[in-house]
Amino acid sequence: MGENGSGWLPEAMSTVAAEVDALFYFTLYTSTIIFVAVIGAMIYFGIRFRRRDESEVPTPVHEPKWLEMTWIVVPTILVMIVFTWGFKVFVKLHTAPPDSYEITVRAAQWYWEFEYDNGVTSANELYVPVGKAIKLNMSASDVLHSFFVPAFRIKMDVIPNRVTSVWFEATDVGTYQVFCTEYCGTSHAAMLATVHVVTDSEFRQWLATQNQDLPPAELGAQLFNQYTCNVCHVDTAVGPGLTGIFGSERKLSDGTTVIADEDYLLESIVDPGAKLVEGYGLQMPATFGSLTQKQLDGLIAYIKTL
Ligand code: CUA
């Protein structure tokens, strides 16, 4: 909740957010008024017309027609208002403006990868210009995930073998939280990303300076961090630890052993199932094969320093 937050919802930071909120509050307040009126009347009638004596016999009630018509017509009108209003907002939320800037989103256990039109990729950090419609074309490489940015009031499932999309236009610069809202395994709760909404010139500059020449081990450290490799290989025991791995002897699940040289590290990154370390299942996504040779060299250089 920020400066515009209300206690019910976080601050509204996209062009569609105000419309989503208006509908939410209309439904919330109307339901609250009806709930209080119905429960209040129930309690009042329960006390006022309670049976006071064993010999009391109630007389049959014949309700007036106007009262019956009222509780049919009023709720019908309310439901139609919420339906037409909701349908309008739904269509708007699902129709990206034709001049949207498109970004490809890939979800995997357990990180978000973003690819921009010039081929630049980033992981768990989405940069977008303020005041510009952004369309995200999303797919998953393993299981179901869901992309949710509360401040923008957008949420969309991300599914293997299918492209789903969602769009937004941020109204102010700042950083906003992305959550994965579909349970996707051990580190689902850690599958977070940040949207950096920056000015148009800052965005262009950021795009131009990405993937610049870094020493291999530094590039590798950056990638290791961006792709949250530490979640599986350091923080949890989902994958084997990597400290001192280079040059060590690895015992594999098929009983053989192998020396962890550059070749082994490369193979294990791009084809994780090829040589499984004893005691570990195939948990790692096979998506890192899409990294460039330079990025892979960087990762290997970094792992050698651990
Ligand atoms: Cu990805 Cu939960």
Closest CA to 120 of 230, 206, 232: 206
**pLDDT, tens digit, 9 for 90 and up, residues 38-67:** 999 999 999 998 888 888 888 888 889 998
Per-residue model confidence (pLDDT) at position 207: 84
The CA-atom distances, in angstroms, between 239 and each of 10, 55, 87, 170 are: 36, 76, 45, 37
Same-domain pairing of 111 and 203: yes
Same-domain pairing of 279 and 188: no
Task: Work out which ligand 1 atom sits closest to the CA atom of 109.
Answer: 1
- Check if 190 has its Cβ closer than 6 Å to any atom of ligand 1: no
Closest CA to 10 of 153, 126, 133: 153
Domain assignment present for residue 7? The answer is no
Read off the CATH number of the domain in which 53 is found: 1.10.287.90
- Check if 191 has its Cβ closer than 6 Å to any atom of ligand 1: yes
Domain that holds residue 21: 17-93
- Check if 140 has its Cβ closer than 6 Å to any atom of ligand 1: no
Helices (H), ranges, the chain: 17-48, 65-93, 200-209, 216-226, 229-230, 262-270, 293-304
Domain count, the chain: 3
- Check if 231 has its Cβ closer than 6 Å to any atom of ligand 1: no
Domain assignment present for residue 51? The answer is yes
Same-domain pairing of 274 and 244: yes
Same-domain pairing of 137 and 229: no
Domain assignment present for residue 11? The answer is no
Task: Tell if the pTM clears 0.95, that is, is over it.
Answer: no
Domain assignment present for residue 185? The answer is yes
- Phi then psi for residue 68, to 5 deg, are -60, -45
**pLDDT, tens digit, 9 for 90 and up, residues 145-176:** 999 999 999 999 999 999 999 999 999 999 99
Per-residue model confidence (pLDDT) at position 3: 43
Per-residue model confidence (pLDDT) at position 39: 97
Same-domain pairing of 236 and 165: no
Same-domain pairing of 130 and 201: yes
Query: CB within 8 A of 100, min separation 6: which ones?
Result: 133, 134, 135, 167
Q: Which of 175, 190, 209 is the last residue of a domain?
A: 209
How far apart are the two ends of the chain, measured CA to CA in Å? 39
| Segments in the chain below pLDDT 70 | 1-6, 211-213
User: Could you tell me how far CA 188 lies from the centroid of its own chain?
Assistant: 10
User: What is the residue with the minimal CA distance to atom 1 of ligand 1?
Assistant: 145
Same-domain pairing of 31 and 52: yes
How far apart are the CA of 132 and the centre of ligand 1, in A? 27
- Check if 105 has its Cβ closer than 6 Å to any atom of ligand 1: no
How far apart are the CA of 186 and the centre of ligand 1, in A? 9
Read off the CATH number of the domain in which 288 is found: 1.10.760.10
Beta carbons of 248 and 289 less than 8 angstroms apart: no
Beta carbons of 151 and 4 less than 8 angstroms apart: no
Q: Which of 163, 185, 209 is the last residue of a domain?
A: 209
How far apart are the CA of 76 and the centre of ligand 1, in A? 39
Per-residue model confidence (pLDDT) at position 2: 40
Per-residue model confidence (pLDDT) at position 222: 80
Same-domain pairing of 47 and 85: yes
Per-residue model confidence (pLDDT) at position 84: 97
- Check if 145 has its Cβ closer than 6 Å to any atom of ligand 1: yes
